[in-house]
Every structure is written in structure tokens, then in C-alpha cells.
Amino acid sequence: MAPEQFRGYADEHSEVYSVGILLYQLLTGSLPFDGPGHWKICLQHLETQPLAPSFLNPSLPCSVERVILSALEKDPGRRYQTIEDLLRAFQKALEAPTSFE
């Protein structure tokens, strides 16, 4: 769940967050948040920044990592505005020259 959903509201930004979680898991093989219980994981969604995806997958280009981390911003206003915006950014990141800053 997106952080704002724990506070009782959701919109398209929440969907962007969910897709960001999926991209993170698909490209690293791990969820960005894990722990010994549902509430611990919920708190991480609210308060903890995820581990950089490139830490788990060093072959991940920094352009792709930036897209994923932007989709996982805690503040919905700092995420992509729509799923289409996220998809365009992801496609552009995949087409960018590979760099590992």
C-alpha cells in the first residue's frame, strides 16, 4: 500500500507507488520493505526509504533506478502524476545510454 493509503486516501499517485513496488521487485528480486510482521512493513512504507535498487542489482542503470525511486516517493506530489508518465519515464530510462553513477 502507498503511504497515503494508510492515512485513508488514495488516487492515481497510489497506483504509481504500486507499480514502483512491482518494478523494484521485478528488477531486484526483492521487495523494498520486509520484516517480521505486517505492521512493521506498514511502518516502513510510511517512514523508511527503500534500499537503492542498484545495491541489490548492480547491473541496473542509474536512469532506471531514478525512475523506480521517484515512483516510491513517500510524498504523492513528488511521484509521477500518472501511470502514463511513469511508463514514459521508464521507457526513456531503458533507452538511455547505460551508466552506473
Give the integer Cα–Cα distance in Å for 8 and 33: 20
Domain 3-95 sits in CATH at 1.10.510.10
- Per-domain residue ranges for the chain? 3-95
Per-residue model confidence (pLDDT) at position 35: 87
Are 70 and 79 a contacting pair, CB within 8 Å?
A: yes
pLDDT digits (tens, 9 = 90+) for 2-31: 999 988 989 999 999 999 999 999 999 999
Give the integer Cα–Cα distance in Å for 18 and 12: 10
pLDDT digits (tens, 9 = 90+) for 30-65: 999 998 899 999 999 999 999 999 999 999 999 999
Nearest by Cα to 25 from 81, 89, 17, 77: 17
Nearest by Cα to 67 from 52, 46, 47: 52
Residue type, 31: L
Residue type, 49: Q
